[in-house]
């Protein structure tokens, strides 16, 4: 098994508000572990899908599928969270 390299977050901690981080945490909690792993390795750590697949010991097609499904699930979770936070007619 390969070791995941250390990486700096793509956004500094000062660039995300506490509310935004909390919303992302809730979104990630709704994903299954496989989707979460691919999303973090690809988007947060910045690895290409081929390396993500090698680290997770899965085929490249599986990594791509998990990335696509995870991204869609995360988007849906964040949109649902926005609807709950800001009912129709209200804004931030």
CATH code, domain with 66: 1.10.10.10
**Which structural domain, as residue segments, surrounds residue 33?**
17-85
To the nearest 10°, report the CA torsion of 77, 78, 80, 81.
120
* The pLDDT value given to residue 17: 85
> Tokens representing 4?
């995941």
Q: At what angle do helices 60-85 and 49-56 cross, to 10 degrees?
A: 100
pTM: 0.71
Is 70 part of a structural domain of the chain?
A: yes
Is 25 part of a structural domain of the chain?
A: yes
* The pLDDT value given to residue 83: 77
Per-residue pLDDT of the chain (92 residues; tens, 9 = 90+): 455 555 544 555 556 788 888 888 888 999 999 999 999 999 999 999 999 999 999 999 999 999 999 999 999 988 887 776 666 666 55
Is 1 part of a structural domain of the chain?
A: no
Is 5 part of a structural domain of the chain?
A: no
Angle at 56 between CA 45 and CA 25, to 5 degrees: 50
Is 90 part of a structural domain of the chain?
A: no
Is 11 part of a structural domain of the chain?
A: no
* The pLDDT value given to residue 76: 92
Number of domains in the chain: 1
* The pLDDT value given to residue 91: 58
């Amino acid at each position: 098994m390969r070791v995941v390299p250390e990486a700096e977050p793509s956004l500094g901690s000062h660039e995300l508000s506490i509310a935004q981080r909390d919303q992302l945490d809730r979104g990630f909690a709704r994903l299954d572990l496989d989707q979460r792993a691919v999303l973090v390795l690809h988007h947060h750590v910045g690895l290409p899908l081929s390396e993500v697949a090698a680290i997770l010991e899965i085929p490249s097609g599986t990594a791509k599928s998990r990335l696509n499904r995870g991204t869609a699930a995360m988007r849906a979770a964040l949109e649902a969270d926005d609807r709950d936070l800001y009912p129709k007619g209200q804004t931030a």
